[in-house]
Chains A and B, each alone.
Chain A
Amino acid sequence: MKKKSWVKLIVYVALFIISGIIAFPFIWLIITAFKTYPDIYAYPILYFPQNITLEHFKYVFVNLGFSKYFLNSLLLGVGTAALTILISILPAYATIRFNFFMKKPVLLSILICQMFPQIVFIVPFFLFLKYTGLINTFLGTMVVYLPFTTPIAVWMIRNFFADIPKSLEESALIDGCSRFQAFYKISLPLVIPGIASVGIYTFIFSWSELMFSLSYLTSPSKQTVPVFLSLFIGQYQTRWGPLFAGSVVASLPPMIVFGFLQKYFIKGLTSGAVKQ
């Protein structure tokens, strides 16, 4: 079946316009971040600024210590990703390789947990972190992220294990491997791409998480990028320049990662809900 060329033209034009509209808020953010203050507040609005400045980036890094918040977010993200992977691998493996009695209830509860609202946990976790002395620590915040990251992690890693033929492990077992050896010598290396994508997914979750980090990381030295930005927006007469500069920098890690690995993620994300 050959598509009529005018239909194709309409699709192109529509996609072009829609892409422009959708990209606009982000592009506008970038443009504004490079404007000088008079230009930011110019009337009429300057769509194509003549003077490009790095003053806001300089201000946010030098005067506001943005690199500290950036490092905090990085640390929290990497830690959460590592813990999530560590916890999720075995359940993911067990629920794909074995058909045991409790499999369905376990899978069910994992799926349901994934949808629990964060707000239900905000008070209990606060009391829990206070009680354990983990309030205002990265470790404590990582721990309370885990109920939200591990379910989807188990689900995603499961899908990667599912692609490994069972016969590979069976021959290893015949060759005298123990059950555990068959798991970590044969199957585990093959799901490293899956583990990597879970790690990145978790990192991004932690990177943009606001509710818990705002409530549990209370001292300024522990604040993450989203916490810093949200406090900054509410603080004084909002100083838009540094806010935009900080926002642009904050978007870089997820943009880069998702941009390069989108195919991967879309597969991992949708395979839970959409069985092909």
Chain B
Amino acid sequence: MSTATKDKLILNKKNSLRYDLTKNAFAYRAIIPYVVFILVLVVYPVVQNIIISFQANGTWSLANYLDVLFDPLFHLITINTIIWTVSCVVLDLLVGLGLALLLNQDIKGGAVFRTIILVIPWATPDIVAAVAWKWMYNDMYGVLNDILMKLGIIDEYLPWLAVPNLARLAVIIANVWKGFAVSAMFYLAALQTVPQELYEAAAMDGANSWQRFTKVTIPVIRPYIITTVMLTIIWTINYFPLIFTMTNGGPANATDTFVTYAYRLAFRFLDFSHSTAVSNLNFIIVFTVAIIYTLSLVGKEE
């Protein structure tokens, strides 16, 4: 490449930047206030949270993180968070996809089923869902024990929220009830993008419905499944009101997650240093998933 063309290229680049600023002046004026707003209300607090977490006894220190990482309670809470997130995400995927397939059937009255199945759990405020489930799980007067007894599944009333493993199961079930609807909506929207001709072609080739599902449906909606699963991971890790209201992390910290633990440290014990350390560890995980998700989404937009 000759020097002249190189110069020309550089010149062009300079020009295009200035051109960009002039031509899109309106856009920049419209966007800059929002960027400033994000900086003040998002970036600054995040930085501040990091700074607080690295301070102990008036100096910079790793002490908060070391305290947290070597605390057996934190190990239990890490295991809780993994169990909680993995179970909820897998169940949201299975229930959400299964119901989306059912609701995608072209039948009369489909809209009514769709409203009941998708809108009721979704529109119920978190706190109300927690109240409703806490009452259903009540060991003496709860309707769940009664129904399970009548169905012969259990032979004595279970103290759902008082035994660690049962409590874990209980909050997971309640959360799947509250959360599957959003997954189902995404999958329903995804299923509607599958071209009908593909099914017809597969049927002509003699594929049965299971083969049509695995060979046509799944490959087409795979990107949407990945997107939805990543969003569900983020939402589930961060989800607070249900556990806080139903068990507040108990019994014996069995349902404590990073979020409920960090919240309790901050506002029950006023221990901001350790609370910020926990929330930052949680943040690293969420941020990683969020970045992967966002990049894949922006890639799709192009």
Please list the residues of chain A having a beta carbon within 8 angstroms of any beta carbon in chain B: 1, 3, 8, 11-12, 14-16, 18-19, 22-23, 25-26, 28-29, 32, 40-41, 43-45, 87-88, 90-91, 93-95, 97-104, 106-113, 115-128, 143-144, 146-147, 150, 154, 179-180, 183, 204, 207-208, 210-211, 215, 225-226, 229-230, 233-234, 240, 243-244, 247-248, 250-251, 254-255, 257-259, 262, 266, 269-270, 272-276
Contacts and interface: CB of A to CB of B under 8 A. Distances in A.
Contacts of A255: 119-120, 123-124
At the interface, is chain A mostly helix, strand, loop or mixed?
helix
B45 interface: yes
A20 to B, nearest CB: 9
Most chain A CB within 10 A, of B27, B120, B203, is at B27
Contacts of A118: 238, 240
Interface of B: 17, 20, 24, 26-28, 30-31, 33-35, 37-38, 41-42, 44-46, 48-49, 52, 99, 102-103, 105-107, 113-136, 141, 143, 146, 177, 182, 185-186, 188-190, 192-193, 199-200, 203, 224, 227-228, 231, 234, 237-238, 240-241, 244-245, 248, 258-259, 262-263, 266-267, 272, 275-276, 279-280, 282-283, 286-287, 289-291, 293-294, 297-298, 300-301
A29 B17 contact: no
Contacts of A29: 128, 131-132, 135
Given A117-B259, A124-B49, A210-B240, A97 B27 contact: yes
10 contacts: A1-B199, A18-B102, A22-B121, A25-B132, A107-B301, A117-B237, A122-B262, A210-B240, A248-B128, A269-B182
Given A154-B34, A180-B26, A251-B128, 10 more contacts: A29-B131, A91-B31, A100-B28, A116-B42, A119-B259, A120-B279, A123-B49, A123-B52, A229-B131, A275-B301
B263 A111 contact: no
Nearest to B203: A1
Given A11-B105, A147-B38, A128 B45 contact: yes
Contacts of B297: 111, 272-273
A37 to B, nearest CB: 11
B31 A247 contact: no
B127 A208 contact: yes
Nearest to B294: A111
A115 B231 CA distance: 8
Contact of A122 (B17, B24, B263): B263
A109 B42 CA distance: 10
A262 B103 CA distance: 15
A179 B26 contact: yes
Nearest to A151: B38
A25 B129 contact: yes
Contact of B41 (A143, A180, A251): A143
B113 A15 contact: yes
A90 B33 contact: yes
Contacts of B291: 112
Given A119-B262, A247-B127, A270-B186, A102 B200 contact: no
A91 B227 contact: no
Nearest to B209: A7
Contacts of B234: 115
| Residue from A91, A99, A234, A259 whose CB has the most chain B CB atoms within 10 Å | A91
Instruction: Sort A-B residue pairs by CB-CB distance and give the 8 closest, nearest first.
Output: A124-B45, A98-B27, A208-B125, A100-B24, A94-B30, A90-B30, A258-B123, A115-B290
Given A40-B141, A119-B279, A208-B126, A226 B24 contact: no
B115 A259 contact: yes
Given A210-B126, A250-B125, A101 B102 contact: no
A98 B189 contact: no
Given A40-B141, A119-B263, A270-B185, A230 B244 contact: yes
A97 B227 CA distance: 26
A125 B45 contact: yes
Nearest to A25: B132
A41 B42 contact: no
Of the listed residues A91, A122, A233, A274, the one surrounded by the most CB atoms of chain B closer than 10 A to its CB is A274
Nearest to A89: B30
Contacts of B52: 123-124
